[in-house]
Amino acid sequence: MKIKSATFIMSNSEVAKCPKERLPEYAFIGRSNVGKSSLINMLMGIKNLAKTSGRPGKTQLINHFIINHVWYLVDLPGYGYARVSKKAKKTFQRFITDYFEKREQLMLAFVLVDCRHEPQPIDQEFMEYLGQHGIPFHIVFTKADKLKPGALERNLKAYETKMLETWETMPKSFVTSASNYAGRDELLAYITELNATPQ
């Protein structure tokens, strides 16, 4: 897929106010500071499309970007240790779950995971929530450039082992790096393939 256009459309915290077009949507979500904004910018080839920040929890709304006028990329708030109030975290949880459970245009969630760390309970719990609600998702491992090939392979194997404790099969996954564009072509090609599949 060649990215010809990527345009910010809206931010909001209510599913009912999301775009009305029946275009396929792909949601990107992960633990705070997983490198989500950097990954989105890398995929789109636009440096500041999604706002990056050294402070976790920068994204606090449902952000819609229309890509090539044919599909939406949805940037969702991170979960985890973001420095926001307990009230704000409860609000995040409510509108995030509302989005996943009510948004009919959602094709797939990409759950971002930092490949440098061992499996985190909060990521496991979130994926279990998606599975319990029948929401399709794949895993996107980020920051692959931070590890040597051998260490990366070990970490990915350890992650698969942990997942297979509770899942029958390992969800489809992509290994990416916002620094060297690893995984970009594979991810975009996969979205293209899904968009071409009759629903």
What are the tens digits of pLDDT across the range 65-98? 999 999 999 999 887 655 556 666 666 678 889 9
Mean pLDDT across the stretch 21-31? Answer: 95
**Percentage of the chain exceeding pLDDT 70:** 89
**Percentage of the chain exceeding pLDDT 90:** 76
What are the tens digits of pLDDT across the range 7-22? 999 999 899 999 999 9
Mean pLDDT across the stretch 108-121? Answer: 95
Give start and end residues of each alpha helix (H) in 80-148.
Answer: 86-102, 121-132
| 37 touches 77 (CB < 8 A) | no
Rounded CA-CA distance 99/18 in Å is 9
Rounded CA-CA distance 33/77 in Å is 11
Rounded CA-CA distance 188/25 in Å is 13
- Which domains are seen in the chain, by residue range? 6-115+128-139+175-195 (3.40.50.300)
Q: In a 3-state reduction of DSSP, which class is residue 165?
A: coil
| 194 touches 107 (CB < 8 A) | yes
- Residue 57 above 60 pLDDT? no
pLDDT for the residue numbered 50: 84
Rounded CA-CA distance 31/24 in Å is 24
Mean pLDDT across the stretch 36-46? Answer: 95
User: Model-level pTM?
Assistant: 0.91
- Residue 48 above 50 pLDDT? yes
Q: In a 3-state reduction of DSSP, which class is residue 171?
A: coil
